[in-house]
Structure 1
Amino acid sequence: MSMLKLNTASLQRLPAQLTLNGTFQHTLRNAKGVSCAIEFDVLQCSKAIQFSVKGGPMWLSCTLARPVCLQRVVGFIESATNGTHWADAPYSEESDLVTEIESTLREVAVKRQGTYHLSTDDDIWVSIGAIGNRCRIEIDSTAFNMQLPTNTDEAYSQLHQNLHAFINACRATAHTA
C-alpha cells in the first residue's frame, strides 16, 4: 500500500499555519499519483494548540502542548488521512491542557457563527450562539447578549469574563430562589 504524504507546498506552508487560527486546505499524494484534499483546522489555545483534519465525512482532532513539533503534526495529518495508527500520539496530559470551556470560547471567538453547547462542573448547561460580532449566552431561560471585539484574543477574553460572571449570577439567583 502506498501511503499518502503531504506535498512540498503543504509542508512549506504548515509551520506558518500552526501560528494562526483558521482552516487550511492541503493535498496529500502517494507514489502512484493518487491524491487527497483535506481541511486542516487550527485553534490557538493558551497552553496548547488544537487541530483537526477532515478528509471525507469525518473530523479527527488532537491537542498538542506548546511548542508544537512540526513532525508530530505532519504525522497526525498523514496518519489521519491514511487511516493508520499514529505512532507519536499525544501524551495524556497534553489533552488536559485545554478545557472544554476554553476550546469552545476560542472557537466562538474565531469562527463567529453557529451554536455551541457546554456544561460546567456543577451541571449548568450553557448555550452560546454567535453570528458575526454578536453573541448570545443562554442558561435555562436567561440570556446575555454581547458584541464581540474584532480581535479574536480580545473576543475570547471578554467571552471568558462574561461567561464566568453570567454563570456566577445564575448560580446566585438559583440559590436565593
Structure 2
Amino acid sequence: MSQLTLTTPGFIRLQAQVALNGTFTHTLSNAERVSVAATVSIEQCAQAIDVKVRIGNTANSVALDKYRTDNGRRVARFIEQIANGHAPTNVPDVDECLLVTDLERTLRQALRRGHGTYYLPADELEPCLLIRRNRFGGYTAQIELHGAACMLTLPADTRRAYAMLAENLRRFLTGYRDSLAAAA
C-alpha cells in the first residue's frame, strides 16, 4: 500500500495554520484512493507551538520551536508519519519539547476551554485553578491552595489573559512560599 500524504491544498493551508491558534481538519490520501482525516490542534505558546494530532483513536503531540521558518513542513511530516503508522521521529530537535512546560500547557488549555477545574503542576505545590467565562466575554479565575485563594478577572484576549494568569499565579505561589517560610 502506498503512503498516505497530505493533499496539496491541505499542505498549503497548514503552512499558514502553524502561526495560528485553533483546531483544523486535514485529509490525507494515497494512490489507491484511501483517505483518512486528521484533526490538528495548534496552540501558540511563549517559545514554541504545541501541536496535537488526532487520527482515528490515536493522539500524538509535539512542541516545536516557534521561531523556525520550516514548522509547516515539520508538522506535515509529523502528521504523515502518524497516519502511516510510523513512530513520529525526526520532527522535534533535541530538547525542543522543553520549550513548553506542563504548567503553561495547562493554563493555556484552561483558557481555551473557558471553564473547569485544573490542578496545576507547580513544583512541589499543586494549586487548583477554577476558571469560567464571565458575561463580558473575559474570564473569572480563582487560584486555591490549602485555604488560601486569589480571585482574578481576566480579559477576553487569551494572550493577555494568559500573561496575567501566569504572572498572578507566580506571585501567589511566591507569597504562599514566603508565608510558609515566615511561619517556620
Instruction: Specify if TM > 0.5.
Output: yes
1:24-63 equivalences under 5 Å are: 24-63=24-63
Deviation at 1:40, TM superposition (A): 0.5
For the Cα contact (< 8 Å) 1:109–1:148, is it kept in 2? Answer: no
Is 1:144 the counterpart of 2:150? The answer is: yes
Displacement of 1:43: 0.9
What is the SS of the residue equivalent to 1:110?
helix
Q: Secondary structure of the equivalent of 1:125? A: coil
Higher mean displacement: 39-48 or 142-151: 142-151
The answer for the alignment partner of 2:110 in structure 1 is: 108
Aligned-partner residue type, residue 67 of structure 1? R
Q: Which amino acid aligns with 1:125?
A: E
Task: Choose 46-55 or 139-148, whichever is displaced more.
Answer: 139-148
Preserved contact between residue 41 and residue 51 of structure 1 (Cα < 8 Å): yes
Q: Say whether 1:14 aligns with 2:17.
A: no
Residue 126 of structure 2 aligns with an amino acid whose one-letter code is W
State the Cα deviation string for residues 57-81 of structure 1 (Å, max 9, x = none).
Answer: 3320001112251221101011122
Matched residue of 1:59: which SS? strand
Q: Which residue of 2 aligns with 1:94?
A: 96
- Which whole-Å CA distance do the structure 1 matches of 2:39 and 2:147 have between them? 37
TM-score after normalising by structure 1? 0.88
Deviation at 1:151, TM superposition (A): 0.9
Q: What's the counterpart of residue 136 of structure 2? A: none
Q: Which residue of 1 aligns with 2:130?
A: 129
Shifted more, 37-46 versus 82-91: the winner is: 82-91
The alpha-carbon deviation at position 87 of structure 1 amounts to 4.4
- Structure 2: how far apart are the matches of 1:32 and 1:110? 38
Question: Are 1:73 and 2:75 matched, yes or no?
Answer: yes
- C-alpha deviations, 1:88-119, integer Å up to 9, x for none? 23122211122222222233333323333232
Distance 1:75 1:115 in 2: 35
> Which sections of structure 1, spanning at least 5 residues, go unmatched?
none
TM-score, normalised with respect to structure 2: 0.85
**Superposed displacement of residue 129, structure 1:** 2.8
* RMSD of aligned alpha carbons: 1.9
Count of residue pairs the alignment pairs up: 176
Q: CA deviation at 1:150?
A: 0.9
TM-aligned CA distance change 1:80 to 1:115, over 3 Å? farther
Structure 2 residues not aligned, in runs of 5+: 134-138
